[in-house]
Chains A and B, each alone.
Chain A
Amino acid sequence: MQVMSKINRRSSFWVSLISVVLGLLVGAIAMIAAGYSPILAYGALFQNALFQPYDLGETIRTISPLILTGLAVALAFRTGLFNIGVEGQFIMGQLAAVIVGLKLHLPPIVHALVAVIAGGLAGAIWAYLPGLLKAKRGVHEVITTIMLNFIALYLSNVLVRTWLTSGADSTDRIADTASLQWSVLSAMFGGARIHFGIIIALLMAFVMYYLLWRTKLGFELRAVGYNPHASEYAGMRVDRNIILSMMISGFFAGLAGAGELLGTQGYLAIQGGFTGIGFDGIAVALLGGNTPIGVVLSAVLFGVLTYGGNNMQFAAQVPFEVIRIVFAAIILFVAANVSGWILGCFRSLKKGRGA
């Protein structure tokens, strides 16, 4: 728990910036070691992600779910919980959204709204169990959420194969009434698959801010994160807050899944492995210092790297996975507070000179 609050405090801008630079440096070293040019690769990455309307639209599409999964991890962190289950809650969100999108017949807008909310609720329900086990039996949420990720993956696959289709690899497209796509927006960005998901994501960043810093529940959630024993003594129901925090976190994750399904894919396919968007949320939350603004900013960075990284493959032949290495290095540097250490060295050096 102390470790968690330590993570919360290390949120200054410089710490994040140094971690990002170091992470990109590690990526550059990996590229040089394999004989690629990091300057060419990073150049292509940023150029491709930002400077054409189509690419900008696609980058924004990539950013949307990252904001939500980042918020999900960050909110749980704030309560002293580590939700590694965002990936599974994301899958459940997709699953609920495709079911509503295929099986219900509702007027436009209403249909999409119901599907989005169903996705969020599915994520919340999927997060309820680890919350309950943590609160009532002290079972570490990390293990339960990892297991639930796999269960969600297989559950989604078996339902696609047996119930939503008869033995096919992917479902039909959802009804147009449930789609989050908006042709006006898409046309503005040269036909990119940008959709309403970004608005939902930004709205939820505000919701998280309002909930945590402007409501009594939010105060309690944060208090439990800082010191569960003191909170218990102060008469807060720690158990209830743990469960609620997991469920709100799961709700954000479910929304991310629903947004991707209803906005980007339009159907659900059998998946051989995880999408990774849920796990990326961990990196986003850590770099963002677990604040809503920080999460939005770091999601922008990770979104640019992810989308640009794909294009980098064409421009400089560098395999996309180098971006995963950069993500890993950033998490490691933030978690180990390497930048705090570097800043400390820098300060003592300055002091030494002054004396």
Chain B
Amino acid sequence: MLNTLTNVLQTTVLYSTPLILAAMGGLYSERSGVVNIALEGLMTIGAFAAAVTTIFTGNPWLGLLAAMVAGILFALPHAVASITFKADQVVSGVAINFLAFGLSVYLVKHLYNGEAQTPVVQETLSRMPIPGLSSIPVIGPALFNAFPTTYLAFVIVAASYFILYYTPFGMRLRAVGEHPKAAETAGVSVIRMRYVAVMISGALAGLGGAGLSIAIGSEFNQSTVAGQGFIALAALIFGKWHPLGAFFAALFFGFAVSLALIGQLFGWTQYVPSEVLNMLPYVLTILALAGFVGRAEAPAAIGKPYEKDSR
């Protein structure tokens, strides 16, 4: 029984990590007033960059760095289109998803003789047990014998909470997302703030994608990300655009994502088709949005391009 619980917890934490990272990415962008439906694409490009860089250099840490850089580079066109050119942010996000998917598969095919996936990454990240803590029963193996990306995710959640609510930068960022005109009057550059937020978003989502290709998995292919960017977006909304809310929502969705695997582990798939288990995160999101877990309040200025002279 205890073993079972440990197993479930460990799988949940494993599958939550990329979701937590991407959801935190979405948090910065959306709290600054820029819808980021491009999380899926940013994760895809991160997963791709991490896998390829790690294969070429043999160093997964460089892979993580490459994923962040690639995420930032791909968040930039979204920022330029939606902030400077005032494009519809959802449409622009859709285009980024297209672009990331197209470009990563194009490059994989180009690099590996037409194959639609990278070779197996040999030097993936490995679990790093924290001495002492990892031997605590049940939670020890799940929380303290995890991949470095998991620790990183936990630290980023705590840091994000602190940054958003206790630093001038965070308060300006939230102000820009709630009432850009007032923020501008108070001397905050709305445009610059939103650019920075969208780029942070790209870095974190890229990191989340890296977790999929060089920690949980060990290659990049067309279905490496498979909708997890959208689940991260759902977690952000589910968690009401709050770092801790999004964190717990991501953990919950991580559990839902891992259900299919856990289900196989314990033979539930005899009774429930695995596809139905796979459906669960999406069904839950719709139920949540329909108001069964309370109303979510989006940042007030979300989705609206900022025009200096408008009121």
Contacts and interface: CB of A to CB of B under 8 A. Distances in A.
Contacts, number: 142
B223 A144 contact: no
B107 A34 contact: yes
A139 B282 contact: no
A129 B230 CA distance: 19
Interface stretch (B11-19, B55-63, B84-92, B144-152): B84-92
Contacts of A332: 77, 81, 87, 92, 95-96, 99
A328 B99 CA distance: 5
A101 to B, nearest CB: 22
B282 A147 contact: yes
Given A3-B305, A331-B95, A331-B98, A273 B223 contact: yes
Contacts of B80: 336
A324 B91 contact: no
**How big is chain B's contact interface, by range?**
35 or more
B282 A151 contact: yes
Interface in A329-354: 329, 331-332, 335-338, 341
B5 interface: no
B109 A319 contact: yes
B102 interface: yes
Q: Is the interface of B mostly helix, strand, loop or mixed?
A: helix
Contacts of A154: 275-276, 278-279
Interface string B209-228: 00000000000001100110
B106 A143 contact: no
B103 interface: yes
B234 interface: yes
A139 B106 contact: no
Interface stretch (B153-161, B186-194, B285-293): B285-293
Interface string A130-173: 00010001010011101110110011011001100000000000
**Secondary structure type dominating chain A contacts:** helix
A212 interface: no
B283 interface: yes
B289 A158 contact: no
Given A139-B289, A324-B106, A332-B77, A282 B234 contact: no
A325 B290 contact: no
A4 interface: yes
Nearest to B110: A34
Given A142-B37, A155-B279, A319-B109, A30 B87 contact: no
B101 interface: yes
A142 to B, nearest CB: 5
Contacts of A150: 227, 230, 279, 282
Contacts of A341: 85
Contact of A336 (B92, B230, B279, B303): B92
B273 interface: yes
A30 B283 contact: no
Given A158-B275, A328-B98, A137 B291 contact: yes
B180 to A, nearest CB: 15
Contact of B283 (A151, A158, A321): A151
Contacts of B226: 273
Given A82-B91, A161-B273, A322-B102, 6 more contacts: A133-B289, A139-B290, A143-B237, A143-B289, A158-B276, A279-B98
30 contacts: A3-B88, A30-B103, A30-B106, A34-B110, A133-B289, A139-B289, A143-B233, A143-B289, A144-B289, A147-B230, A151-B279, A151-B286, A155-B279, A161-B275, A282-B94, A286-B91, A322-B106, A324-B101, A324-B102, A324-B106, A325-B99, A325-B103, A327-B102, A328-B95, A331-B95, A332-B96, A336-B82, A336-B85, A336-B86, A341-B85
